[in-house]
Structure 1
Amino acid sequence: MTPELQEQEQRLQFDRFDHDDAWDLGNRLVGLARERGHAVTVDIRLGDQQLFHYAFPGTSADNDDWIERKIRVVRRFGHSSYLVGQTYRDRGTTFEEQSHFETALYAAHGGCFPIILRGTGPVGTVTVSGLPQLDDHRLVVEAIGLFLDAKGSEEQSVS
């Protein structure tokens, strides 16, 4: 699974990302979750600035805590929170057992994906909390893919 997760990070990169993009991507994520009946919290940040946040009924402040912990992992390692956790699982251990990071502050659980600018690297995060970790991860990856596909289509129609 690790090569697939690495491929996602290579493929799902942005040429640019701003406040309007955060709004569009956030609304796309909320729409997908709503269509599927998922009670999740969605968070998008550029650097330290939170640009988008939405919490469905049925979520709680615990989801916000999970989001903060996942974001710290992505910022520290520069990779999706699921990939970081999977790297440890591939070695037959867990992030919690081997990383020596405080679990109250760091969670290598799926759902946080870096906003990667081509030629620059990670500049922000897109995070979902509320589903099993693989489902959180897949929802974020799907939304980013749909967003990038739509942006590519818009740019082609302008050309």
Structure 2
Amino acid sequence: MTKEEVLQLEKELSFQEFNNHAAYQLGQIIVDHIEKNHLKNVRIRIVLDGDIVFQYLMDGKKGVIWLDRKQKTVEKYGHSSYYIYLENEENKTYQDDEKDESLVICGGGFPLII
């Protein structure tokens, strides 16, 4: 996937409105999709207005530090952590952030755009 495709997904996967119940429904959709398609278990966190409104660590996943780092990366840059990763791979734009242990330059975090 290219940076442009990721940016397009960020635009397409936005919401006219979003609340705590919608977060629960979205989280459940993600869990169901992973289980139905036998994908790798993940940690899921949905944050709305600074509050964690959905969080689920699938079997075998422990701890939330990784989620904290992905969340901080998305909040700092307003883009998916995968977009930040691709940009860094191409241009070394976020090279200094690779040393920041509160951030993570890899895929997995996605902005909630309302």
Structure 1, gaps ≥5 residues long: 118-159
Alignment of 1:55-74 (within 5 A): 55-61=57-63, 64-74=64-74
* Counterpart Cα distance in 2 of 1:24 and 1:9: 19
* Counterpart Cα distance in 2 of 1:37 and 1:2: 24
2:16 maps to amino acid: D
Q: Which has the larger radius of gyration?
A: 1
Q: Does 1:41 align with 2:43?
A: yes
- Aligned equivalent of 1:82: 82
The structure with more helix, counted as a fraction of residues: 1
Tell me the CA shift for residue 76 of structure 1. 0.5
Moved over 4 A (4+): none
* Counterpart Cα distance in 2 of 1:103 and 1:33: 30
Give the count of matched residue pairs: 112
TM-score (normalizing by structure 1): 0.65
- Aligned equivalent of 1:116: 113
RMSD: 1.6
Q: Is the 8 A contact 2:73 2:81 kept in 1?
A: yes
TM-score (normalizing by structure 2): 0.89
Q: Does 1:19 align with 2:20?
A: yes
CA deviation string 1:20-79 (max 9, x = no partner):
100100000111122215221111110220111111121111xx2111101111111011
